[in-house]
A and B are shown apart, each in its own frame.
Chain A
Amino acid sequence: MTEDCQQSRDLASAYLDNELSASESLAVEKHLRDCADCSRNVAALAALSAKVKQHARYYAAETTLLDQAMSATTAAPSLQHAINLAKRKFFSGWVPVASAATIALLLSGTTIWHFAGRNAEAELSRAILSSHIRSTLSQQPFDVASSDRHTVKPWFHGKLNFAPPVIDLAEQGFDLQGGRLDFVDGRTVPVIVYGRRKHLINLYVWPSPGQANRAPSQSKLNGYNLVQWQQDGMRLWIISDLAAGELAEFVLQFTSQLAREARNA
């Protein structure tokens, strides 16, 4: 093996990774043209690199980890955590003396008890938030992509035991993008996906028969706006990073359109 060979072997890997300067690259190329041994060596390295890229296991994060990572970054859930902790301790008969959770509880008693009363709702908000963020992280936030409600609506047939409302709001400036099925709060929930400019709006809906209609109420979690309401035996939630005012506009348009369709049906 010549000195050139030695040098070419040393640089072969970086050469394949395009990490050499132009002059180094040229020198390696020139040597490879003349030396069959070194060419074979580079080819073997290239094949190995391709093989690793293709076959080495990529350990993607599971959604439970996403939920955990998210809760690490929200003020509300850590408060929620403190409440859960405090409640567990009360119920198990343990008398809390100086735990941080208890102090927090005593300091801001009323707000927190109010919050705790809405425990289930807060948990649902969190589930919807993580579903929303998952969808914004995925390449495609829907299983069926269509701006045509007559494509999206039938797609849900046979996948659910009810027909979710799919409403065309293009004229109002909210483009239907598609639909998907998601798993929220222990059930399969249809999600209807709308967009406005670059903002994604996810609409979750499931039947809740026998419940009185409830006016939309807005909340904010981690900078995302959520609106939930009850209409005609259905529970509806929407979430988006769209400004609260625009989201309220969406709800207004959606609910009135839904009511109109129910009348005509």
Chain B
Amino acid sequence: MSQNDKGKRFQEAVLPHLSAAHNLARWLVHDDHDADDIVQDAYLRAFRFFDGFRGGDCRAWLLTIVRDRCYSWLRNKSLADDVAAFDEMQYCAAVENSSNAAGIKSTDPEVLLERLDDATRLNAAIASLPEEFREAIILRELQDMSYKEIAAITGVPMGTVMSRIARGRKMLLQRLQCAEQKNQ
């Protein structure tokens, strides 16, 4: 296979999943710039390993590489242990932070939460999930992937995927309720 053929085949197979790759990376590392760098690195690797890719689900194959790059990046930044167990105070602080980022100037937390729209609250809640739950929810809801595909990407049994998605949703509901209760 010539370089040109390889380049073309790669572009046809892998480039269309660029947004899926970026979306996953961005949700895992929380930063646009880092997500860009990671995706670029992942594409370089994917291109290098492309000869070994024997067809099949190209999106899942690429996302496996992207995810791997994200975690090694997080490890290097030693942020991997950052999001441990759920802590309500911590979460509500995160909501306040995102309201500051949204340019809402007030010191009254109730006013803050009231002014935060649904989408902002939801995004803050997802961002605050521990990563194994966050990635499962993102792959399921935003990439519309099956449990089997998610299991392949994250390297865990399907039963684990099932319980992570169930728990992830439960945590999200709790967090959104926490925001609403404070709102009342």
Contact = CB atoms under 8 A, between A and B. Distances in A.
A106 interface: no
B8 A224 contact: yes
A70 B15 CA distance: 8
Nearest to B32: A59
Given A13-B162, A45-B169, A75 B3 contact: yes
Contacts of B122: 51-52, 55-56
Interface residues of A, number: 38
Nearest to B144: A53
Contact of B141 (A12, A52, A75): A52
Q: How would you classify the secondary structure of chain A's contact residues: helix, strand, loop or mixed?
A: helix
Interface in B144-180: 146-147, 162, 165-166, 169, 172-173, 176
Interface string B18-57: 1101110011000010011001100110010000000000
Chain B CB within 10 Å, residue with most, of A44, A53, A55, A241 = A55
Contacts of B140: 17
Contact of B43 (A10, A14, A17, A69): A69
B39 A223 contact: no
Q: Secondary structure at chain B's binding surface: helix, strand, loop or mixed?
A: helix
A17 B151 CA distance: 15
B118 interface: yes
B27 A59 contact: yes
Contacts of B19: 58-61
Contacts of A66: 15, 18
Nearest to B158: A19
B126 interface: yes
A234 interface: no
B106 interface: no
Shortest Cβ-Cβ A-B pairs, 3 listed = A223-B8, A59-B26, A13-B166
Interface of B: 3-5, 7-11, 14-16, 18-19, 21-23, 26-27, 32, 35-36, 39-40, 43-44, 47, 118-119, 122-123, 126, 137-138, 140-142, 146-147, 162, 165-166, 169, 172-173, 176
8 contacts: A53-B141, A53-B142, A56-B138, A61-B19, A65-B40, A69-B15, A73-B7, A75-B7
